Structures are given as C-alpha cells and as structure tokens.
C-alpha cells in the first residue's frame, strides 16, 4: 500500500529482540548423560552466566562478551543450576545459574559488567546472535529458581534432562519449564488506533495494550477481554501478527491487531496512567522520532514497535 507520509523514512525493518536463534536445541542430548558429559568437556563449550535479573558480561572492546568457558564461569561463584541450551555450529552452549547475590558481588570487578537483559538488548551491548540464547537461559534458569520444591507434594525437586525437567523424588511427578502467554495488541479503527501508557513507562513512551491469557481462553478472546478491561472498547476481528519470547520472567508475547467496534475510551486507572486514540500519521512520526511533543513508541527490540510499524505501513489492511 502506498501512502504519502513517514513511511519512506522508516528505513529497513529492524530485527525483533530475542528472536531468530542460531542454536540447535539438540533435544536428543538432554536425556543422554554420556552425551551431556561430552558437551561439558568440549574444548569450545561456553556458557552464559545469570543470577536473578542479572547477566555477567566480560568487558571486551566496543561490545561486551557474554560467553565464559565453563571453568571461568565456575570461578565466578557457586553454581546453583547448569542448563544445556543446545549446539552452535561449532560448540555446545550452556547457562549457569548463580544466586543474584553472587552476581551483585561481581559488580565491583573491572573486567566484568553485570547488568539486566533488557538493558543489554535495548542498548545493543552484545552481538545480536547472543540475545535468543540469553533469553532461553534466563527464562529457564528463572524457572528452576522458582521451582525447587514440588507444587504437588512440597518435597525438594531435582534438575534432570539437562535442565529441561525437574523430578520429584517423593511423589514421582515430573515438572516441565513453563512459558506464560501474553497477548499484546493494537486496537484499530481505520486511520486511528489506541495506545496506552503504564506508570512504569519512560515519560514520553506510549505502547500497545497487553495482558496475560487466562485458563480456558483463546488468544482472540484474551485480546477482546484485555482491551475491554483496560480501555472499555469492544473488539471484533483479531488478526495474529507475530510472537516474541519475553524472558521477564518467562513469557511469550503474542502480537495481534484488533478491530475496534466502539469508540469511547473508559480507562482502567489501576492498569494504565493514560490511553487515547492516535492518528496513523502521528504514529509514523513517533516511530521516526519526529513527533512534535517528543512522544515515542517502544524500541525495535520489543514486539510492540513491530505491531505499530506494521499498521503504519499497511493501515487497516492488517485486519484482513
């Protein structure tokens, strides 16, 4: 679709953060103790080091290096969990889970940088190929940290399958890593759409509405319910756009466009600080960082940016 504003200046489509992993998860290795041991002993085996919200990086020139040899990683503090992430073309990759306190102590070291994964992604601190395995490691290690006891009987559980399961020795139930689905959507009426602001946002930023799907609900139903709850607008058609792993702590963002059937915004003040209709033309200026009041969209690392850009470029055709 050809339009006469903004679009020509938006440039090439930026990559979506934490996606396009180059790692083969090699699930056959997970349950094979001998193969896992060989991976650990591989000369080029390397690991990401994570504790709570923090990631350890080596200071190394312009970009930081997030990979440590397994021996280097063991020197950083006591390791709570080791998870097998998979294989690159040349070597096995692991995630080492330390306590958040251990990472906190590393902050004093000049040869390391300890920071959170959002900052790493938004500021482009590591080569982009590291973001998907960092997301994989953070979500998986976070799950282990929160599931050390069996939710069925309360006994201590043990890591198995290279970190892709926890087993209860008492009631024998097996527990698998969880991913929580979140719907994130842009509600559209022709040349206008609804954006909202959470109190957590930077002062100029506006974004798509979002919320967890509930048990017994389809993605489309979750989109309609969340939009109705947050801004009081009824939605008709819902169209899936794309998805993104979001390891904060362990979600998958399901990006959609939704057709508005009503107009009046009735805002949920617990969830949102503000919400209003935006013209498509105004969104083009926000994406391009040319908005007269300095309003912005989320950065390209987040799927909201892409959901908005798709609408700016294609208009209401996104609902076809």
Instruction: For 222, list phi and psi in degrees, rounded to 5.
Output: -65, -40
Tokens 């008709």 correspond to: 236
Q: How far is the CB of 169 from Zn ion (least distance, A)?
A: 8
Q: How far is the CB of 151 from Zn ion (least distance, A)?
A: 8
Q: How far is the CB of 142 from Zn ion (least distance, A)?
A: 21
Q: Coil, strand or helix: which one is 318?
A: helix
C-alpha 265/C-alpha 195 separation (Å) is 11
Nearer residue to Zn ion within complex by CB, 8 or 151:
151
Nearer residue to Zn ion within complex by CB, 76 or 150:
150
Q: How far is the CB of 149 from Zn ion (least distance, A)?
A: 8
What ranges in the chain are assigned the alpha helix state H?
Answer: 27-30, 33-41, 70-75, 100-106, 117-122, 131-146, 219-231, 280-287, 303-314
Terminal-residue alpha carbon distance, the chain: 13
Residues that bind Zn ion (CB under 5 A): 150, 152-153, 155, 168, 170-171
Assigned token pair, 148: 């050390």
Nearer residue to Zn ion within complex by CB, 175 or 237:
175
Q: Coil, strand or helix: which one is 26?
A: coil
Can you say whether the dihedral through the CA atoms of 203, 205, 207, 213 is positive or negative?
negative
Q: How far is the CB of 282 from Zn ion (least distance, A)?
A: 54
Nearer residue to Zn ion within complex by CB, 59 or 170:
170
Nearer residue to Zn ion within complex by CB, 48 or 143:
143
Nearer residue to Zn ion within complex by CB, 157 or 296:
157
CA distances from 289 to 10, 70, 222, 294 (A): 10, 43, 31, 7
Q: How far is the CB of 159 from Zn ion (least distance, A)?
A: 15
C-alpha 299/C-alpha 311 separation (Å) is 16
């Amino acid at each position: 679709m050809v339009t006469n504003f903004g679009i020509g200046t938006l440039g090439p489509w930026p990559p979506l953060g934490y996606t396009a992993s180059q790692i083969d998860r090699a699930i056959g290795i997970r349950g094979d103790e001998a193969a896992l041991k060989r991976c650990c002993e591989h000369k080029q085996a390397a690991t990401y080091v994570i504790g709570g919200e923090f990631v350890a990086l080596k200071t190394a020139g312009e970009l930081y290096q997030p990979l440590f040899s397994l021996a280097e990683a063991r020197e950083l503090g006591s390791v709570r969990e080791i998870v097998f992430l998979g294989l690159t073309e040349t070597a096995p990759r692991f995630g080492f889970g330390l306590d958040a306190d251990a990472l906190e102590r590393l902050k004093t070291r000049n040869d390391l940088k300890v920071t959170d994964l959002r900052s790493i992604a938004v500021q482009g601190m590591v080569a982009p190929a590291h973001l998907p395995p960092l997301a994989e490691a953070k979500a998986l290690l976070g799950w282990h940290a929160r599931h050390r006891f069996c939710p069925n009987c309360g006994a201590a559980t043990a890591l198995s399958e290279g970190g892709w399961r926890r087993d209860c020795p008492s009631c024998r139930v097996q527990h698998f890593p969880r991913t929580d689905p979140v719907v994130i959507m842009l509600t559209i009426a022709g040349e206008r759409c609804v954006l909202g602001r959470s109190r957590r946002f930077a002062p100029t930023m506006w974004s798509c509405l979002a919320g967890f799907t509930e048990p017994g609900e389809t993605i489309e139903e979750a989109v309609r319910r969340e939009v109705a709850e947050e801004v009081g607008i009824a939605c008709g058609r819902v169209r899936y756009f794309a998805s993104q792993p979001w390891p904060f702590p362990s979600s998958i963002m399901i990006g959609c466009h939704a057709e508005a059937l009503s107009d009046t915004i009735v805002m949920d003040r617990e969830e949102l600080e503000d919400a209003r209709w935006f013209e498509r033309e105004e969104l083009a200026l926000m994406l391009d960082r040319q908005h007269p009041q300095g309003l912005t969209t989320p950065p390209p690392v987040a799927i909201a940016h892409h959901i908005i850009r798709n609408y700016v470029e294609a208009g209401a055709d996104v609902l076809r």
